[in-house]
Amino acid sequence: MAGELTGYLAPEDHLGDLLAELGDVVETHGRLVLAPGPPRPAAWVANIWRDPARLAITSIADGAKQLRARQRNWALYPHVLHRRAGLIAERLPHVGAKPLVFPAAAPRAPLGSWMLLDGGTILAAGDCSSPFPNGEARFVEDRQGPPNRAYLKLWEALTLIGRRPLAGERCLDLGASPGGWSWVLAKLGARVIAVDKAPLDPAVAALPGVVIRQASAFALDPAEIGPLDWLFSDVICYPARLLALVERWLTSGLVRNFVCTLNSRARPTWRRPGASPRSRARASSISTITSTS
């Protein structure tokens, strides 16, 4: 199996999008999709399992022993046989997964992923794309400052790319209302132009460095705004319209970095009925990052 397959773990509620993106698929285990060939770029993925291997095990102890022999740090993807998988996980070294305090850096230690395929078979990949268990970054939340929970998406994007706006850098926040992303940027010391037809939360509007433009993100003239260090967009729109917006700003040559989201609220079928508020917040978008610097 080595070198023949790659595992792709879809974010919650986005398995269909991942399957459509990958095309040819060998196996699907819950949200984990095995596709032929080496790893390839994928938008709808939370974690990529590079070169996964099947391990035949004779017992819980043997399963833990085989994983420990490969490397130290492992994260379980619990899909089937939860009790048996949990007993194996208990025999592995503990992996601390405390919530990060933004803007702390992402963990640097290699983190493998594994799951039980059946009672006698483990699927394991010691090399994964995400430093977080199952690709899910968790943070110590601020329940006082931001006006909504959208700020967590930006915290996650900036943490994963390992870069963030510096104090004094000029940022454009498209689709800013009620101001979660503008709040993040202002707290980092950046200068923020917040654009939305709807008003910003008064507390965010009053932050130093925040300038408000009540207008449509799609009607802005890049030449009128001028050079930017970062363009951020959490606009609710169809992907094709977002692409046209990004291409216009790229063509202008005025923006050094882009952080945008494809937002599922423009496609209601992506959201699972009855999802909890937390899972809806996580599933609402997938961040895409482009840098021209």
Using a 10 angstrom Cβ sphere, with 0-12 exposed, 13-18 middle and 19 or more buried, the burial of residue 206 is: exposed
Beta-bridge mates of residue 124 = 53, 114
How high is the pLDDT of residue 272? 29
CB 205 within 8 A of CB 226: no
In angstroms, the CA 79 to CA 123 distance is 12
Pairing of strands 32-36, 74-76: unpaired
How high is the pLDDT of residue 5? 95
Task: Name the superfamily (CATH) of residues 151-291.
Answer: Vaccinia Virus protein VP39 (3.40.50.150)
How high is the pLDDT of residue 3? 52
**Region of residue 162 (phi > 0: left; psi between -120 and 50: alpha; otherwise: beta):** left
How high is the pLDDT of residue 63? 98
Distance of CA 51 to the CA centre of its chain: 22
CB 138 within 8 A of CB 159: no
Structure tokens at 15: 């398995």
pLDDT tens digits in sequence order for the chain, 293 residues long: 445 899 999 999 999 999 999 999 999 999 999 999 999 999 899 999 999 999 999 999 999 999 999 999 999 999 999 999 999 999 999 887 789 999 999 988 889 999 999 999 999 999 999 999 999 999 999 999 999 999 999 999 999 999 999 999 999 999 999 999 999 999 999 999 999 999 999 999 999 999 999 999 999 999 999 999 999 999 989 889 999 999 999 999 999 999 999 765 444 333 223 333 332 233 334 444 445 54
Give the three-class secondary structure for 160.
helix
CB 249 within 8 A of CB 217: no
In angstroms, the CA 260 to CA 243 distance is 10
Q: What single-letter DSSP state applies at residue 190?
A: -
CB 124 within 8 A of CB 53: yes
Q: Which CATH architecture has domain 5-135?
A: 2-Layer Sandwich (3.30)
Residue ranges per structural domain of the chain? 5-135, 151-291
How high is the pLDDT of residue 4? 86
